[in-house]
Amino acid sequence: MPIELDPTMHPDNAPLAWLLGSWAGAGVVGYPTMESRNFGQEVEVTHDGRPFLHWSSSTWLLDEQGGKEELFATETGFWCPQPDGEVELLLAHPTGVVEMYYGRTEQAKVEVATDSIVRSPRSRDYSAAQRLYGYVGGNLMWVMDMAAEGYEMQSYMSAELKRV
């Protein structure tokens, strides 16, 4: 599915233009500290003409019928693409965590890993993460691996979102 570039978008954002828009879908979350569960997700990616994209995401745990059960996670932040194909992702969470990811973008794909994590005294033990996002068949697909609570880096979340 071709992507049309918004003429008001800053040219540095072009490698991530496929992220723009509203997305919704479902995925799976699981970690040694929790039972594997299905979740729903809504993502909004916008721009205001400056050289970054604004990212806002909310996820809910789903009941067995697929209905929203409880809010699981919320994050907001900024994708900052660089002219050489590198990208920075800054995310803030209301749980007292701020993450700075660094990585590269390729055609319809971006892969980032945490460069630093700042945690408040009330946040859980969390030391590293990796995320991979891709535009596949018109959908936004992503996976996240995490090292937390004394466990090594391992699969944590994944989802497939459709443009809404």
Residue 33 labelled as part of a binding site: yes
Q: Which of 131, 107, 149, 141 lies closest to 2, judged by CA? A: 107
Specify binding-site residues for heme b: 33
| Binding-site residues from annotation | 33
